[in-house]
Amino acid sequence: MAPFFVLLVGVFLAPVITAVWLSFFTDDRSGLGFGPESTTFVGLRSYAAVFGDPTFLGALGVVLVFCLVYIPLLVLLSLTLALLLDSGAARLRPLIQLGLFLPHTVPGIIAAIIWLYLYTPGISPVVDVLAGADVTIDLLGVETVIPSIVNIAIWTNLGYNMVIFYTALRAVPRELVEASVVDGAGPVRTALSVKAPLIRSSVVMVVLFSLIWTLQLFTEPMLLSQSTPVINSRFTPSMYIYDAAFTRNNYGLAAAASVILLVCTVALSYVVTRWSNRDARRRAAG
């Protein structure tokens, strides 16, 4: 266990402790801002500033909307594909698995650049084809920018989560599936009533990891912001932290926002875990 604890301290505990420490201080200049810079203890002032900043609250709202759209779609599509592969209805199964998994191997920044090209009017073949069919749509508009980012995220992560579900389905005892068929259950009923409930732990894991990933959303909106004014420099919490640290040089504010984001992530992960465990106990008791 020693290597694990060394990595835990080095890549998680030490940065967290450092962020908490920095959040209680700020760099001030005396003499109306022209004097020497000094580090000043400000207590919880940075946290109050973050909670009082409507742009940070708006960023939390953006990731909340993103979660409500992205996670159900990701789970539903990944599970559907995995069930189709497991049912034997799909031919050339290894080739299909490889094709679905390949987008996950593309680095996130490269994928975002590809989709930026496809979304940007004037250079996008997709927009040109739609325009030729008299369909005018701004894929980076106010009402479409979140669905556009959701599309990128699903394209990137669909195959990976499908593999997780498919692996879990392969571990389902075949005799249970055969018994459901003998009892008269069709393929859809078998998939929904037998297979899906037995891989519930994998579904919860995918939801949990997707939630954590969503709260840290950064690369995709940061690159898309180059082509649309809808995405500002504080569009998501991670972008807010980046802007505070490297644009405004306010490391105390950035550290406080980071700690708040960490607390939100841990709290939501705890809620999902407790909900799944309680539901599992209720099912077992029933």
Helix (H, G, I), strand (E, B) or coil at 204: helix
pLDDT bucket at 279, cuts 50 / 70 / 90: low
Q: Which pLDDT score is estimated for 89?
A: 64
**Residue of 53, 54, 56 lying closest to 45 (CA atoms):** 53
- Based on the fold, state whether residues 61 and 165 are members of the same structural domain: yes
> Are 145 and 15 found together in one domain?
no
pLDDT tops 70 at residue 111? yes
* Residue 122 confidence (pLDDT) above 70: yes
Alpha helices in 9-53, H assignment, sequence order? 14-23, 45-51
The CATH number assigned to the domain holding 245 equals 1.10.3720.10
50 vs 184 pLDDT, higher one? 50
Residue 257 lies in domain: 56-285
Range of weakest confidence among 29-38, 159-168, 222-231: 29-38
pLDDT of 67 reads: 94
pLDDT for 109 equals: 87
Among 134-138, 150-154, 277-281, the least confident range:
277-281
pLDDT single digits (tens) 255-273: 999 999 999 999 999 998 8
**48 located within any domain:** no
**Cα 214 to Cα 65: distance, rounded to the nearest angstrom:** 10
Same domain flag for 118 and 30: no
Over the chain, what is the mean pLDDT? 88
Average pLDDT over residues 192-200: 88
pLDDT of residue 180: 86
pLDDT at 281 over 70: no
Say how many domains are in the chain: 2
Q: Which residues contact 273 (CB under 8 A, 6 or more apart)?
A: 204, 208
Same domain, 110 and 28: no
Query: What pLDDT is stored for residue 286 in this prediction?
Result: 59
Question: Residue range 125-149: average pLDDT?
Answer: 88
- Please give the DSSP secondary-structure letter assigned to residue 120: S
Q: Is 200 among the domain residues?
A: yes
